[in-house]
Amino acid sequence: MKDLVIDLEAEKTEILKRYRALLRACKSTLQKGDKRMIRKAFDMALESHKDMRRKSGEPYIYHPIAVAQIAAEEIGLGTTSIVCALLHDVVEDTDMGLDDIEREFGKKVAKIIDGLTKISGVFDTNSSLQAENFRKMLLTLADDVRVILIKLADRLHNMRTMEFMPRDKQLKLSSETVYLYAPLAHRLGLYAIKSELEDLSMKYMERETYQLIKKKLNEKKAEREKFVRDFVEPIKKVLAGQGLHADVFGRPKSIHSIWNKMKKKSIPFEEVYDLFAIRIIIDSTPDQEKSDCWKAYSIVTDLYRPNPDRLRDWVSSPKANGYESLHTTVMGPKGQWVEVQIRTTRMNEIAEKGFAAHWKYKESSTDSGLDQWVQKVREMLKNPDTNALDFIDDFKMNLFSDEIFIFTPKGALIQLPLNATALDFAFEIHTDVGASCIGAKVNHKLVPLSYKLQNGDQVEVITSSKQSPKEDWLNFVVTAKAKAKIKSALKEEKRKVAEDGKEILERKLKSLKITYNSDNLHKLSYYFKLSSTQDLFYNVARGLIDMKDLKEYQATEKIIENKPQDKIEADQVQSLLRSVKTKDSDILLIGEDMQKIDYKLANCCNPIPGDDVFGFVTVGDGIKIHRTNCPNAAKLMANYGYRIVKARWTNQQELAFLTGLRIRGIDDVGLINKLTTVISNDFKVNMRSITVDSDNGIFEGSIMVYVNDTQHLEDLVKKLKQVRGVTSVERFDSVIEKAS
């Protein structure tokens, strides 16, 4: 790291500049004596943090000033909260005690600082998110909701300035933020902060997707702005004509909400049409608010055709967090659905600043939903027997409809897809745990392996050394990881059993004086209508083919031998293909439904999902999947046309496929470290092998990696090409295989 050059005078000037900006932000709420109290808190924070710096190298005092400014400007909190925000790290990071705080600022400030100090350790670097810690954080609501609001301001500033943190810390903070802080901001009505927290989390957790959506939004910005101008102009004219003073504008949807829609509907960015919403903010009096909102609604729906199923009336029945607004969706001039949100200035302030604005307008508001919600939390917390996990549902933690969050007994957080079972959870913990799982305790109650988990469940896996994966497990697990591990275990188990069957069959054929060779094994497989010799060995080991069956085969052997060899093989191939193809198609589907089909991915070309592929029926090794541009493809198709089957991939998720990359370029110090960092850290891709040779400053290397599909591979190649010194990255095939 480069040495920091510090200009103390410039820093002092900047600190004062930021402090004055803070005072301007809270000017409207300041009363007599408030400014003096804020100055005292600022001086104490400045002295306490004088020798401390952030990861960026900036003076630490920048952080508490920024948190105080967010509390004042973006949440609308008053003097007490601003003082607490300035002092929120003083007790934890310095020798200053709560007694000192109380002596200088009184009991109320000391109590809030105490609450902030207690929850600062909730997510320490050595622990995962725990339900009990979630409960601990909410306990502060029972005392003073400002603790949570200041904590949200603290988290928002940390997220805004996270680029200097190590990658693992970025991911940890982002995960906590999207799981706990963003939903909490939503529940408290802080929609702008909630959206920013989600976007910032995504920026670090889904970096490429975030940048891609951001880039595409910028590309169409001018086009969207023109559409909004054309859309709102008629509305503005009619509103003014009817004496309604209103601000009408377009508001872009957050990147996170766009990504959520893309995931939920499985559509690309280009098919997300509601990239913005129109807001109408009416300047109204308390007694005219409702009628003015409905007047504006009438004007909008006279100009544009509404979708009657998309009207949301939170003016008559506000949300529990105080949110009031009329939402409708109308057909725009170009046949595009547009969301329109109608609210008054008061309603908008509550929508933007949530809880704090709610209290400001409390006397004139008839809504008490937010008060009831806070009261409910307090009542729940008074009960010492209440399970901390019971809070999860009340806070609607499942932001993503297709994801749930599950806790281990020690409080670690595991993310799974919707409808995941106890067995999926076990495999997510570890392959061996999943393979030996016999049941689970969900929230301390015994449940079967197939039990569908709910968001916030705490799961303890029960295992037995006598357990092994069963084929029927594939009927209820949903994660790709669990399915892949079960299939792999079943194949391995079948292989072991088949090995025993091979020895048994060899002995039995010897006693019947039948030569043990590949030709006779092939004939036996055909006779018993089996797709491979492995199935033959397996059935012998399981006792499904006994000596009596073999004698019956022997009696018909001569008839079989009279058939042409090619004809026998063609018949057997057709029989096999009929058993593996789908009913309405002549195409072999590779993927989710392949657990009962004996197939392998050919080593000669290492196909991965996204490649054009075909199946080749081997004599004793099931079906091999090859790429259509495989070096062996032409030979196989020319000589064994009847053994070729059309094939394509089904949806693959999280399964790993081996492929090779050849990398060339100019040799550089630390090159291998840079390449492995991209592969292992940035892409979380497992490597099987890496070899790099260097000659006269030029290097050539080959890397065998496990990827999910062609898109995953293309993204990896693109990233590797950006490494300094790398001139080319190409996928390569493995060895030429013999047809069998």
What pLDDT sits at residue 374?
53
pLDDT at 400: 29
| Short-list 175, 312, 187, 195, CA closest to 259 | 195
Domains and CATH numbers, the chain: 8-205 (1.10.3210.10), 215-367 (3.30.460.10), 403-478 (3.10.20.30), 479-561 (no CATH), 563-652 (no CATH), 657-732 (3.30.70.260)
| Residue 92 annotated as catalytic | yes
| pLDDT number for residue 568 | 41
Q: Which residues of 504-532 are buried (b: 16+ CB within 10 A; e: fewer)?
A: ebeebbeeeebeeeeebbbbbbbbbebbb
What pLDDT digit, counting tens, does each position of 357-389 carry?
Answer: 655 554 433 334 445 445 544 544 444 333 333
E strands, 577-674, are 588-590, 599-601, 613-617, 623-627, 644-649, 657-666
CA distance 17 to 528: 87
What pLDDT sits at residue 517? 80
Mean pLDDT, residues 686-715 taken together: 79
What mean pLDDT is reported for the chain? 78
Is 676 in a helix, a strand, or coil?
helix
pTM tops 0.75, yes or no: no
Compute, in degrees rounded to 10, the torsion defined by CA atoms 435, 439, 440, 444: -160
The pLDDT of residue 363 is: 42
Closest alpha carbon to 51 in 63, 42, 60, 62: 60
Two tokens, residue 79: 């003097």
Lowest mean pLDDT among 57-71, 108-122, 475-489: 108-122
Mean pLDDT value of segment 32-50: 89
Q: What is the pLDDT of residue 203?
A: 92
The average pLDDT across 391-404 equals: 39
* 14 or 28, higher pLDDT: 14
**Span 115-169, pLDDT tens digits:** 777 665 444 433 334 444 555 555 555 456 778 888 899 999 999 999 888 887 7
Average pLDDT over every residue of 399-413: 65
**pLDDT tier, 107 (very low <50, low <70, confident <90, very high otherwise):** confident
Confidence bin at 618 (pLDDT 50/70/90): confident
371 assigned to active site = no
Higher per-residue pLDDT: 143 or 283: 283
In this predicted structure, what is the pLDDT of residue 326?
Answer: 94
The most confident of the ranges 131-135, 409-413, 459-463, 653-657 is: 459-463
> What value does the mean pLDDT take over residues 383-409?
47
Q: Are 320 and 358 in contact (CB under 8 A)?
A: no
Residue 594 has pLDDT above 70, yes or no: no
pLDDT of residue 238: 94
Report the pLDDT value the prediction gives residue 245, as an integer from 0 to 100: 93
Say yes or no to pLDDT of 473 above 90: yes
Most confident of 419-433, 594-608, 614-628, 666-680: 419-433
* Cα–Cα distance, 15 to 470 (Å, whole number): 65
The average pLDDT across 112-116 equals 81
- Tokens (6 digits) for 667: 């040799």
**pLDDT at position 653:** 52
Decide which of 37 and 579 is more confident: 37
pLDDT greater than 50 at residue 295: yes
Least confident interval from 168-172, 428-432, 468-472, 728-732 = 168-172
Cβ of 70: how many Cβ atoms within 10 Å?
24
The confidence score (pLDDT) of residue 358 equals 57
CA-CA distance, 9 to 303, in Å (whole number)?
60
pLDDT score recorded for residue 641: 67
pLDDT higher than 50, residue 390: no
If pLDDT is split at 50, 70 and 90, which confidence band does 26 have? confident
**Residue tagged active-site, from 43, 92, 163, 247:** 92
Q: Which of 93, 274, 493, 682 is catalytic?
A: 93
556 or 123, which is more confident: 556
* Model confidence pLDDT, tens digit, residues 215-250: 988 888 888 889 899 999 999 999 999 999 999 999
Angle between helices 518-527 and 565-580 (to 10 degrees): 50
32-36, 103-107, 643-647, range with the lowest pLDDT: 643-647
**Lowest mean pLDDT, pick from 119-128, 249-258, 271-280:** 119-128
